[in-house]
Amino acid sequence: MAIPTYEIYALKYGGPFTRQGSFVRWFQDGDKNVQIQYYIFVIRGGGETIVVDSGVAPEAARQRNLAGYVSPAEVLKRIDIDAAKVKHLILTHIHFDHVSGIQLFPRANIYVQEKEFNFWMKDPMAKRAPFLFLTEPSANRYLAKQEGKKRLHLIRGDKKILPGIELLLAPGHTPGLQVVAVNTARGTAIVGSDLAHVASSYQTDFPSAIITDMITWMKSYDKVRPRASSPDLLFPGHDLALLENYPRVAEDVSRLV
Ligand SMILES: [Zn+2]
């Protein structure tokens, strides 16, 4: 059977936010501001809909006073996806902007790296200040309760979860960050999440400021970059260009490929 080709969509649910340049590229451009946005991604094809990251749920967004916030469930509706019926939810990593909306997807199979899960759920280090401020405790408690259930898939390393959809372990930003390699009409594309916050990080070889292991991060660049069929199929996690430089299919939704 032929491997399906998929389309990839970026859905903005928060921002833009102003950050120092050194936030998106480590120790670079500290005197300049850059803008970032919060996204979830949708991979669609072969009769399947896969959501990558859950975004932030309304309650957590209120507490954090997130500018430009729209519930990820509302943004999904704009391309006719009912979050409550989504069958596949990939969590790239367990930072609040990627997992706080997990309860918007009550029926989804959840795919997360075992290393990532164990760190945030079980390692006392995750409760230390530089890690803790990046988490949403209520979402993490919910995620912890999914352990042992059939819907939670704890992934060890690289794994094909559907024909043409492969998870790649790419740590450095977090202990078990994963990216998604997707078969598209233009070849393999990478939904890279925070392996690079902005496209220029891939080009200039700089990580963001949030690092758990810099050497590992560089090795993840070396591993993931060649997997994309071309450099423009390597999609960063927070770049404004994801919305601005691609065809708009609905409000705050673009088709990347
Ligand atoms: Zn992020």
- Give me ligand 1 centre to Cα 92, in Å: 9
Cα(87) to ligand 1 centroid in Å equals 23
Q: How far is the CA of 209 from the centre of ligand 1 (A)?
A: 11
CA distances (Å), origin 109, targets 90, 112, 128:
8, 10, 29
Centre of ligand 1 from the C-alpha of residue 81, in Å: 22
Query: What's residue 138's pLDDT?
Result: 95
Q: What is the pLDDT of residues 68-89, one digit of tens each?
A: 999 999 999 999 999 999 999 9
pLDDT tens across 6-49, in order?
999 999 999 999 999 988 899 898 899 999 999 999 999 999 99
Residues with CB under 5 A from ligand 1 (ion): 97, 194
Cα 2 to middle of ligand 1, angstroms: 34
CA 95 to ligand 1 center in whole angstroms: 7
Give 226 Cα–ligand 1 centroid separation in angstroms: 22
d(C-alpha 169, C-alpha 23), whole Å: 23
Burial class (CB in 10 A: 0-12, 13-18, 19+), 12: buried
**Reported pTM:** 0.97
| Residue 159 CA to ligand 1 centre (angstroms) | 22
CA distance 218 to 182: 22
